[in-house]
Amino acid sequence: MELKNLFSPKRIGNVLIKNRIIRSATYMGSTEKYGFVGDKLIKIYDDLARGGTGLIISGYTAVDPSGTASPYQACLFDDSFIPGQKKLVKCVHEYSDVKIGIQIAHTGRLGNHPKYHPLAPSPVFYKRTELTPREMTTDEVKDYIKKFVDTGRRAYECGYDMIQLHAAHGYYLSNFISPRTNMRKDEFGGDIEGRAKCLIDIYRGLRDELGTNFPIIIKLQIQDFVPNGLSLEEGVTTAKILSNAGFDAIEPSGGGEETLLLTKDAYPSQFVKKPDDENYFLPIVKKIKSSMKNTALILMGGIRNPKTVDKILEDGFADFISLSRPLIYEPNLPSRWESGDLSPAKCISCNGCYMTMLNGPVYCVTKKRLEKRKKR
């Protein structure tokens, strides 16, 4: 069977992506200490670029020291990080047809930094850290909007092809969208429009700084999958509001660590044990597609089979697909599929890579085990 869609080019905003395959943002725990890019992280991106991915989205990159999740997470909250980030972008651009976007983020309510008490739109207790975040003042929310914009401007200076806001999985920006974690009475709370205002203000700030030709995209929480959390209907409405505001692409996601703590679901990185488990955010994507204006839609979550996703693209349910865990195992997966080997991704979604996140660097546990066995 020939793939008609997966390897056809398409634009996000004005940027042409050589195929429909995106690396979904993935923290690799591989910077030098305190967020500086070094050779270890660059090697990972070199492998991804060589492996045929059309657009690589970086792991979440901190916009402020208070929003870092680990000493080995990339940062760009001041100019000292620019030289390393520039080197990383340059390495990817050596592969002339590969694009790279940066995901910018703050931990928000999930923060567990030894020096900083977590900040969030509202003080809602978080079971994992056993902390209640401090509610931000209106002026602080505005300061943090500026921090996102300043980080975006630095990313532009580094040569990134686009910026992705991380507004999913319980981190800072998704705290604003969800009625469970945003009970604010000011302009940044209230109805769905109010809860989306922080995201739109960041978008407008970035547009003012960077012009209309630079894509601004978003990984967006559509459903919290926890009691009293963001409902699917509200998530779909938020996506529509953000498309109308001008975001160039939306990558729908849902859940987070709290879903696992309060229910047994492992969203966003669900287990995929059989073909029926694949493409688990497809029902969400289908609900959103018709309300997207000029916004590309990225299907993420459990993508393992090139033939199935080629059909999804053909049917027009999504414009791109994105992968995380399969590219940890096989950074060359897109090239493998393009060369005609259409067997599914080797990732068995054991989620062992999640465990490696705790101490970093991130690697595929299953692959390592098999390699060890072979050597014996």
Catalytic center residues: 171
Is the Cβ of residue 58 or residue 184 nearer to ligand FMN in the bound state? 58
The structure tokens 């429009």 sit at: 193
For residue 261, CA distances in Å to 2, 256, 266, 312 come to: 42, 9, 9, 32
Give the span between the Cα atoms of 258 and 256, in whole angstroms.
5
- Which is nearest to 99 in space by CA: 57, 153, 38? 57
Give the span between the Cα atoms of 211 and 220, in whole angstroms.
22
Is the Cβ of residue 147 or residue 166 nearer to ligand FMN in the bound state? 166
Q: Is the Cβ–Cβ distance between 173 and 167 less than 8 Å?
A: yes
* Residue 105 β-bridge partners: 62
CB 272 to ligand FMN: min, Å: 7
Is the Cβ of residue 149 or residue 327 nearer to ligand FMN in the bound state? 327
CB 191 to ligand FMN: min, Å: 26
CB 254 to ligand FMN: min, Å: 9
Tokens of 15: 């940027």
Q: Is the Cβ–Cβ distance between 42 and 31 less than 8 Å?
A: no
Is the Cβ of residue 62 or residue 206 nearer to ligand FMN in the bound state? 62
Give the span between the Cα atoms of 39 and 111, in whole angstroms.
27
Is the Cβ of residue 236 or residue 266 nearer to ligand FMN in the bound state? 266
- Which is nearest to 239 in space by CA: 227, 251, 225? 251
CB 261 to ligand FMN: min, Å: 17
Is the Cβ of residue 168 or residue 210 nearer to ligand FMN in the bound state? 168
Peptide bond connecting 361 to the previous residue in cis, omega within 30 degrees of 0? yes
Residues that bind ligand FMN (CB under 6 A): 24-27, 59-60, 103, 166, 168, 219, 253, 268-269, 300-303, 323-326, 353-354, 357, 362
Is the Cβ of residue 285 or residue 303 nearer to ligand FMN in the bound state? 303
CB 27 to ligand FMN: min, Å: 4
Give the span between the Cα atoms of 162 and 365, in whole angstroms.
31
CB 376 to ligand FMN: min, Å: 27
Query: CA neighbours within 13 Å on the CB side: how many for 259?
Result: 20
DSSP assignment, residue 77? S
CB 330 to ligand FMN: min, Å: 12
Give the span between the Cα atoms of 160 and 137, in whole angstroms.
32
Give the span between the Cα atoms of 241 and 324, in whole angstroms.
27
The H-assigned helical ranges of the chain are 39-50, 82-93, 138-158, 172-177, 192-210, 232-245, 257-262, 282-289, 306-314, 325-329, 333-338, 352-357, 365-375
Give the span between the Cα atoms of 49 and 362, in whole angstroms.
18
